[in-house]
Amino acid sequence: MVITKEEAPTTTLKQETNLANVLEAHRGERHLVVLHDYPDPDAIASAFAHQLISAAFDIKADIIYGGEISHQQNIALVKLLAIDLIRYEKSLKLNRYDGAVFVDNQGASSEAIVEALKAAEVPILIVVDHHERQERLQPAFSDIRRSGATATIYAEYLAQGIIQMDKSRKENVTAATALMHGLMTDTNNFIRASAEDFQAASFLSQYRDADLLEYIMSQARSKRTMEIIHQTLENRLTVENVSIAGIKYLRSDDRDTIPQATDFLLSEENVHTAIVYGIVVDDGEQEYLIGSLRTSKLTFNPDEFIKDVFGRNESGNYFGGGKASAGGFKIPLGFLSGHHGETYQDLKWQVYDSQTKHKIFAKIGYETEGAES
């Protein structure tokens, strides 16, 4: 039975009980909790909470991601809270898992793991997410709603007693601290928070470690991040209150600077939407056009915008999507991946940069001639 919660503002006791029933039906199994390739605090915290909940049902849950963790706050969160994450490798034996759980994503941003699970015949059991609905997965249980963060959904599960919280237990404090961090970052320190998010924060505040949370959130930007933000400012093009910047080639380790640079562009006067993108090279020398979108305009729909602009792959899956105020996309360069000298790299970038801007301009109805830099 597929259970969804797209429109409802709050989780009911029935919804929480259904999650508990799904876990109870799989008691004693081993599950894989899948994050998007470049997990943020919301994803990491929610996965840790799911791992904690699963343990109460005698379920061993491993957390996996396919890309990099490079944002300073994300690194601090994982290290200081001692959250165990597994980086996906093709050699990983997935057939040892009885089921998969997708947290803070619906497979579009973790495509390699989705395909590997399919090949290993591992069923998709659960999806919990706050982004707009995608059609990539068909889980047995699905809780997808328009809350400010996936952390909000897990905080509600905890508040409704799916497990007993105790602030004298380290793992409970760790979960609450991580979830509070995820909730704060995904709602821009509660600026974009809903009543549901504030209720979740109120519950988490009883258990979180305030000093540790402050330390995690106070991590300074690295020199490399500042250099990329500077490059973003130099390359930005502002049209129709939309700021667009291509930042050429990035190492996989620097991928998390893209959303940071996008947030920075959004702070400029008279800009309501910012889009930053670049070509990211992973460890296997594969290249992807990766981008981030942020908006402060209430009537702007990031999910619809990204899907309309960048479309679908040959399998019919969208290259990206979003939520109320943000979104992202990832497009593989395929056989064009690879370094064949600086001239080739420059030509390749010019083509992708030009095509990306052309598609964005066409969507916002702007003629490319006369764009203001």
Query: Can 13-217 and 223-364 be said to share one CATH topology?
Result: no
Sign of CA dihedral 355, 271, 150, 138: negative
Global model pTM greater than 0.85: no
How high is the mean pLDDT of the chain? 87
Mean predicted confidence (pLDDT) in 32-59: 94
**How confident is the model at residue 173, as a pLDDT?**
94
Instruction: Collapse the DSSP code of 36 into the 3-class scheme (helix H, G, I; strand E, B; otherwise coil) and give the result.
Output: coil
Token pair belonging to 156: 């509600």
Work out the percent of the chain whose per-residue pLDDT is above 70. Answer: 92
Of the candidates 20, 28, 32, the one whose C-alpha atom is nearest the C-alpha of residue 62 is: 32
Domain extent listing, the chain: 13-217, 223-364
pLDDT digits (tens, 9 = 90+) for 138-160: 898 999 998 999 999 999 999 99
Reported in sequence order, the residue ranges of 153-221 that DSSP labels E, i.e. its strands, are none
Of the candidates 297, 300, 281, the one whose C-alpha atom is nearest the C-alpha of residue 289 is: 281
CATH of 13-217, one of 3.40.50.720, 3.90.1640.10, 3.40.50.300, 3.40.30.10: 3.90.1640.10
Q: What is the topology classification, in CATH, of domain 223-364?
A: Diaminopimelate Epimerase; Chain A, domain 1 (3.10.310)
Token pair belonging to 212: 């540790």
Number of H helices, E strands in the chain: 12, 12
234 pLDDT more than 50:
yes
- Per DSSP bridges, beta strands 99-103 and 30-34 are parallel
pLDDT digits (tens, 9 = 90+) for 245-262: 999 999 887 888 898 899
104 pLDDT more than 90:
yes
Which band of pLDDT confidence, cut at 50, 70 and 90, is reported for residue 10? Answer: very low
Query: Which residues, 6+ apart, have CB-to-CB distance to 185 below 8 Å?
Result: 40, 41, 42, 73, 149, 217
70 pLDDT more than 90:
no
158 CB-contact burial (10 Å; exposed 0-12 / middle 13-18 / buried 19+): buried
